[in-house]
A and B are shown apart, each in its own frame.
Chain A
């Protein structure tokens, strides 16, 4: 297998995740798109790890998974707080600090 096919798949998934973060207004869906981006990064890490026959990349992927779990917990708590205060999770309505 070529290394490039994994890297290109990862790039496509990353771009789809970026599209989701930029285009969607639903807070939960933006968090899901961020998960997509982190998974794309993980594919890269594991692919390079396999290329070099090393385990460091896989350990980095494990760290990314752990940090993603923490991020989802805090992110969903923030979305819930938002919903409780404003009855809406539309991210375009959050413009209090806009200049």
Chain B
């Protein structure tokens, strides 16, 4: 399949499909390790501002995973909405409640141990089910998904949920103002 806009450069040989798969796997490995380490640091760090910055790394990694999966529009939306808006909202929340919980926030060891147990059990059970169910399924589009196709589907097949989400956002906006208003 000839990719649109492909140019043949002299002295440049494009990667074969096997090499592309290797490159994709290497990229996935790097992004995945960075994401897991940052997520672990996020939930264990004492400093809440650092936690927000680790969250940025995880969200950027998720955007990278989306692009790796050929979902470019979702990846860009992830960066715009999450890193651009939601993290800033979190930082405002942190600044407005600064000092409410000292630096030495220390959960009880009992509670932490139970939480650790729950999450390890979750990984084991879900991971076991996944390995058993999708052991040979492979992923990867022949071409990245087109934004026009997403738009067409969103505004035809999914128009009712789309409108519902717009009403939800309006309700959340008004609700947040009413809840946080000082009177």
Interface residues, chain A, CB within 8 Å of chain B? 1-9, 11-20, 22-29, 31-33, 35-36, 39, 42-43, 46-47, 49-51, 53, 55-56, 58-59, 61-63, 65-74, 76-81, 83-84, 87-90
What is the bound-complex CA distance between A27 and B168, given in angstroms?
23
Chain B interface mostly: helix
A17 / chain B contacts, CB cutoff of 8 Å? 39, 43
- Whether the pair B179, A2 counts as a contact (CB closer than 8 A) is no
Q: A9-B36, A39-B59, A83-B96 are in contact. Are A56 and B122 (CB under 8 A)?
A: no
* Residue of B with least CB distance to A70: B172
Q: How far is the CB of B97 from chain A (nearest CB, A)?
A: 4
Q: Are B176's CB and A74's CB within 8 A?
A: yes
Residues in A neighbouring B114, C-beta threshold 8 A: 22
CB distance from A58 to the nearest CB of B (A): 5
A49 surroundings in chain B (CB, below 8 A): 69, 71, 145
Which are the 3 A-B pairs with shortest beta-carbon distances? A70-B172, A22-B115, A20-B43
When distances are taken between beta carbons in the complex, the residues of chain A under 8 Å from B39 are 12-13, 16-17, 36
Total residues of chain B contacting the partner, CB 8 A:
85
CA distance A57 to B24 in the complex (A): 21
Q: Verify A16–B172 contact, CB threshold 8 A.
A: no
Q: List 9 A–B pairs whose Cβ atoms lie within 8 Å, in order of A's numbering.
A: A5-B32, A22-B115, A25-B107, A35-B82, A63-B165, A68-B86, A70-B173, A76-B176, A87-B100
Which of A3, A31, A55 is close to B145, meaning CB atoms less than 8 Å apart?
A55
- Which residues of A have CB within 8 Å of B78? 42, 65
Residue contact A1 to B28, C-beta cutoff 8 Å: yes
- Let me know if B118 and A80 touch, CB within 8 A: no
In whole angstroms, how far apart are the Cα atoms of A7 and B136 in the complex?
13
Question: Which B29-71 residues have a C-beta within 8 angstroms of A?
Answer: 32, 35-36, 39-40, 42-43, 48, 51-52, 55, 58-59, 62, 65-66, 68-71
If A11-B126, A61-B74, A89-B97 touch, whether A55 touches B150 (CB-CB below 8 Å) is: yes
